[in-house]
């Protein structure tokens, strides 16, 4: 089988930490040249140095906010002028909000949608002509919480449902263009996803409570494991949806087997779960 990862260029958003950073390292090892997009320029520069030292290849760190549509288009065009093409684009940037619906505001919902969903579109639209030319691949990082909703996560869950709806709606449109589409739904992952305030700005001082919450009671997968699974799932053509992580597959199966059963279980055991995962 021909290795589809050789001599390709990938653009990754949210590359400064978590799944995005792990994907950058894993794809560099596979021979990809990289465009690394993120808001923390210092981390992107450090990641570039690490990749160059370990794997070589071409790496362009790009400091940009996915909420800035004009900025994303300008910087994607500039990056393509340097590397010549885009073969794979990974829309990964995002954050989460924890809180009861009654304690959130419409601005909280707008802010998270602007990053998680509109930020995805701001990444895909400027890249679309290049992907059509290369017959490339779109990778969108969703979540198992795009398959079922849980308490205290309504804002985040809503963005992930929207992303799944987007995938199911445009996959055949992209297929007509010769563009492949991989929609991934990781389970819980140990990242800095929760190290943000409600507006999506990084919190420099992270509490022990937030650090514990990222482990989700000890079941969270590592970003490196998720990145490896995403690369294995890259389609040579067409489209596919993949649930990533073992516990994620179990949760999605249980929800399919007994609709509302998982949400009901979480509700009935909410106090114990909150104590174990959050407090």
Distance CA 42, CA 160 (A): 29
Among 21, 23, 179, residue whose Cα is nearest residue 87 = 179
Q: Roughly what angle, to the nearest 10 degrees, separates helices 41-54 and 18-29?
A: 20
172 as an active site residue: the answer is no
Q: For residues 116 and 270, what is the distance between their CA atoms, to the nearest angstrom?
A: 26
Active-site residue identified among 156, 167, 172, 267? 156
Helix (H, G, I), strand (E, B) or coil at 26: helix
- A 10 A CB-CB count for 255 gives 17
Q: How many CB atoms lie within 10 A of CB 228?
A: 15
- How far apart are alpha carbons 5 and 236 in whole angstroms? 10
Write the Ramachandran bin of 82: left for phi over 0, alpha for psi from -120 to 50, otherwise beta. Answer: alpha
Cα 79-229-202 angle, rounded to 5 deg: 55
So which residues are the catalytic ones? 156
């Amino acid at each position: 089988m021909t290795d589809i990862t050789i001599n390709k260029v990938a653009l990754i958003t949210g590359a400064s930490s978590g799944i995005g950073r792990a994907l950058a390292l894993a794809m560099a090892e596979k021979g990809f040249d990289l465009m690394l997009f993120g808001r923390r320029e210092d981390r992107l520069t450090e990641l570039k140095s690490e990749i160059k030292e370990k794997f070589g290849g071409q790496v362009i760190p790009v400091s940009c906010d996915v909420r800035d549509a004009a900025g994303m288009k300008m910087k994607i065009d500039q990056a393509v002028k340097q590397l010549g093409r885009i073969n794979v684009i990974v829309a990964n940037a995002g954050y989460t909000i924890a809180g009861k619906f009654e304690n959130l505001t419409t601005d909280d919902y707008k802010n998270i949608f602007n990053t998680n969903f509109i930020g995805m579109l701001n990444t895909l639209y400027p890249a679309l002509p290049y992907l059509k030319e290369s017959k490339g691949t779109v990778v969108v990082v969703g979540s198992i919480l795009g398959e079922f909703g849980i308490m205290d996560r309504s804002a985040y869950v809503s963005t992930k449902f929207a992303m799944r709806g987007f995938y199911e709606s445009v996959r055949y449109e992209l297929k007509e263009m010769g563009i492949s589409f991989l929609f991934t739904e990781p389970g819980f992952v140990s990242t800095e996803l929760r190290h943000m305030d409600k507006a999506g700005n990084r919190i420099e001082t992270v509490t022990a409570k937030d650090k514990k919450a990222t482990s989700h009671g000890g079941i969270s997968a590592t970003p490196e494991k998720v990145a490896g699974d995403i690369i294995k799932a890259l389609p040579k053509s067409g489209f596919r949806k993949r649930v990533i992580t073992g516990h994620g597959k179990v949760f999605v199966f249980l929800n399919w087997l007994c609709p509302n059963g998982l949400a009901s279980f979480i509700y009935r055991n909410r106090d114990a779960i909150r104590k174990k995962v959050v407090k």
